[in-house]
Amino acid sequence: LKEHNAKSLWHPMAHPADSLANPPTIVTGARGVSITDVDGHEVVDAVGGLWNVNLGFSCQPVKDAIAAQLDVLPYYSTFRGTTNDQVIQLAEELKDFFAPDGLSRAFFTSGGSDSVETALRLARQYHKIRGQEGRTKFLSLKKGYHGTHMGGASVNGNANFRTQYEPLLPGCHHIPAPYTYRNPFNESDPERLAQLCLQALEDEIAFQGAGTIAAFIMEPILGAGGVIPPHESFMPGVRQICSKHGILLIADEVITAFGRTGSWTGSRHWGVQPDLMCTAKAITNGYFPFGAVMIADGVAEVFESDESGKAAIGHGYTYSGHPVGAAAALACLAETKRLNVPENAAARGAELHEGLLALKDKYGLIGDVRGGHGLMCALELVGDHVSKTPIDKKTIGMVQEVAYQSGAMVRVSGPNIILSPPLVLEAADVSTILSALDAGLAAAS
């Protein structure tokens, strides 16, 4: 395997030449909250698969549900005319789960990028049904990540995911994120920064013309952009501005739904009800590619009461409402509720955040520590504290490598070390992650 690694496959989000020079670790097994590589080295997975393995890797009820469903109905189309019992049951369960978020209808997809694409399309269609054909543009946050389809890439805030694929969707504009460590306003107070970003949103809407904008899409806590929690006033402020201008608010909760922030959803964490919510990842805990867009009552009514034919949905995936995926999701939802995972995410997340703050006192390499909202944390590394020079690739790579040898898989994204472990983590696992990072930072300092 090692000899062939990267010679016959291209790795997502990697330069093919880098992968040849530096072949990725080959993971051969996983159990509980740990993974094992081809050399038999076992570590705590502080990445949680890819923000999705909330329940760990040994979730027996999910495995049983998948096995049982494979025997009964492994697949059938949900396009026109046919559906299946699992997907109906799942939609009912999700309706209850998301009731506090004001969301009552589900449209199923095969993953996060598909959920984003679906939400963007439904947002445009919603305005067309209402005779507002001019509302086609999308606004989003700089540093936001919304997957890799052409629509999602267009609203991605990070230019590194856009420029290779331009021209993208026209009319997508990005406003400054409430990122206290670095921002165009030089403002480090979170509340004042939130106000400045909200003003930037108002200014952009005025500049574009409110009647040209379909939706604003945002993550309740920016994830891949470096775990950036906004001030508590930010998302409610966005909600208010969107409502005032007739712009739909799409919450991209591909990472944050199902407990990661210490709340059941990220929007609920901030007391906001979005118009559309994108989910995926933890909905099936990595056991099956699956996603759902949840739809608010008000949006659903516009579609369901249409008599012009404009509400016909010309969108869907072969695997929308896959019965095995739906069975997996039903079992994951039951486990998520039974274990009350947000409670553990909040408790372990607080310990992890506190430990990271202690590491900041020890290492000049750490410019910023972000977290405090469940099990999503990040360290932003710098070459120099005063000038905040971003860390070089080699040094951050060394932190990651030594941390891995010392017991924890952590993720590097630009200048950030990102931590998003399973939500069933125990206190001893938090200590393992912290001591592994300690070793990595010591080696690189």
Q: How far is the CB of 431 from ligand PMP (least distance, A)?
A: 27
Q: How far apart (Å, rounded) are the C-alpha atoms in residues 132 and 307? A: 16
Q: Which of 255, 296, 333, 346 binds ligand PMP (CB under 6 A)?
A: 255
Contacts for 158 with CB less than 8 Å, ≥ 6 apart: 142, 143, 144, 145, 224, 225
Rule CB under 6 A: is residue 254 a binding residue for ligand PMP? yes
Rule CB under 6 A: is residue 252 a binding residue for ligand PMP? yes
Q: How far is the CB of 378 from ligand PMP (least distance, A)?
A: 13
Q: How far is the CB of 4 from ligand PMP (least distance, A)?
A: 25
Q: Which of 220, 223, 262, 274 binds ligand PMP (CB under 6 A)?
A: 223
98 closest CA partner among 339, 367, 283: 283
Q: How far is the CB of 145 from ligand PMP (least distance, A)?
A: 5
Contacts for 136 with CB less than 8 Å, ≥ 6 apart: 124, 127, 171, 212, 214
Q: How far apart (Å, rounded) are the C-alpha atoms in residues 364 and 373? A: 24
Q: How far is the CB of 13 from ligand PMP (least distance, A)?
A: 10
Cα angle value 346/277/80 (rounded, 5°)? 135
Q: Which of 107, 108, 138, 145 binds ligand PMP (CB under 6 A)?
A: 145
Q: How far apart (Å, rounded) are the C-alpha atoms in residues 54 and 425? A: 9
Rule CB under 6 A: is residue 147 a binding residue for ligand PMP? yes
Rule CB under 6 A: is residue 138 a binding residue for ligand PMP? no
Rule CB under 6 A: is residue 280 a binding residue for ligand PMP? yes
Residue 19, both tokens: 């992968």
Q: Which of 48, 56, 112, 229 binds ligand PMP (CB under 6 A)?
A: 112
Residue 387's φ and ψ, nearest 5 degrees, are -85, -10
Which C-beta is closer to ligand PMP: that of 112 or that of 374?
Answer: 112
Segment contacting ligand PMP (CB under 6 A): 14-22, 59-67, 155-163, 218-226? 218-226
Which C-beta is closer to ligand PMP: that of 111 or that of 374?
Answer: 111
Number of residues that bind ligand PMP (CB under 6 A): 14
R_g of the chain, CA atoms, integer Å: 22
Q: Which of 56, 102, 111, 178 binds ligand PMP (CB under 6 A)?
A: 111
Which C-beta is closer to ligand PMP: that of 113 or that of 154?
Answer: 113
Q: Are 383 and 390 in contact (CB under 8 A)?
A: yes
Would you call 201 helix, strand, or coil by DSSP? Answer: helix
Distances (CA, A) of 118 to 151, 362, 428: 9, 46, 40
Q: How far is the CB of 214 from ligand PMP (least distance, A)?
A: 18
Pairing of strands 137-141, 291-296: unpaired
Helix axes 60-72, 323-338, angle to 10 degrees: 160
Which C-beta is closer to ligand PMP: that of 255 or that of 345?
Answer: 255
Point out which residues bind ligand PMP (CB under 6 A): 111-113, 116, 145-147, 219, 223-224, 252, 254-255, 280
